[in-house]
Amino acid sequence: MKLLHIDSSILGANSVSRQLSAEAVKAWVAVHPNTKVEYLDLAVNTPPHLSAEAMGFRTGQDAKTEAEREQNAISETLVSQLLEADVIVIGAPFYNFSIPTQLRSWIDRVLQGGRTFRYTANGPEGLAGGKKVIVLESRGGVYSTSEGGRAMEHQETYLQTIFGFIGITDVHFARAEGLAMGPEARAAAISKAEAEIARAVATPMQQTVAA
Show binding-site residues.
9, 15-17, 138-141
Q: Which residues does 113 contact at the CB level (< 8 Å), separation at least 6?
A: 57, 58, 119
Strands 123-126 and 117-120, sheet pairing: antiparallel
Binding residues for FMN: 9, 15-17, 138-141
Q: Specify the 3-state DSSP secondary structure of 119.
A: strand
User: Which DSSP letter does residue 95 get?
Assistant: B
- Overall size of the chain counted in residues: 211
Between CA 197 and CA 137 the distance in angstroms is: 11
Say how many CA atoms lie within 13 Å of 70 toward its Cβ.
Answer: 9
Contacts of 28 (CB under 8 A, 6+ apart): 3, 35, 87, 89, 134, 201
Distance CA 107, CA 74 (A): 13
Nearest to 197 by CA among 8, 9, 2, 29: 29
Residue 20's CB is within 10 A of a number of other CB atoms, namely: 26
